[in-house]
């Protein structure tokens, strides 16, 4: 577990740093207004991605739960034959 955590920490931290400075690069390279960088700053991008992932997980969980509820209602009870 320690080896895996060590392997994913560096790429994860580099990715988070890139997302945090992404709006500054866009403002410089594309001559976008400064308000855009404030609205789509690194923190807000991380929050939007986190909310989107959580929403997808909740929808998936709901659909999976509904699928299993349907199986339980339509299934037949088997009686053990001795």
Q: What is the pLDDT of residues 64-79, one digit of tens each?
A: 887 776 656 655 555 5
3-state secondary structure 14-81: HHHHHHHHHHHHHHHHHCCCHHHHHHCCHHHHHHHHHHHHHHHHHHHHHHHHHHHHHHHHHCCCCCCC
Q: Is residue 80 part of a domain?
A: no
Range name among 1-5, 24-28, 39-43, 74-78 with the lowest pLDDT average: 74-78
Domain that holds residue 35: 1-72
Q: Is residue 24 part of a domain?
A: yes
The domain total for the chain is 1
Q: Is residue 79 part of a domain?
A: no
Q: Is residue 59 part of a domain?
A: yes
Q: Is residue 9 part of a domain?
A: yes
Burial 30-67 (b: 16+ CB within 10 A, else e): eeeeeeebeeebbeeeeeeeeeeeeeeeeeeeeeeeee
Q: Is residue 81 part of a domain?
A: no
pTM for this predicted structure: 0.49
């Amino acid at each position: 577990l320690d080896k895996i955590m060590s392997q994913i920490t560096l790429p994860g931290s580099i990715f988070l740093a890139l997302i945090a400075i992404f709006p500054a690069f866009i403002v410089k390279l594309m001559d976008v207004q400064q308000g855009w960088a404030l609205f789509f700053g690194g923190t807000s991008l991380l929050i939007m991605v986190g909310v989107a992932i959580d929403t997808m997980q909740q929808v998936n969980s709901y659909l999976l739960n509904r699928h299993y509820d349907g199986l339980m209602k339509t299934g037949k009870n088997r009686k053990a034959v001795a």
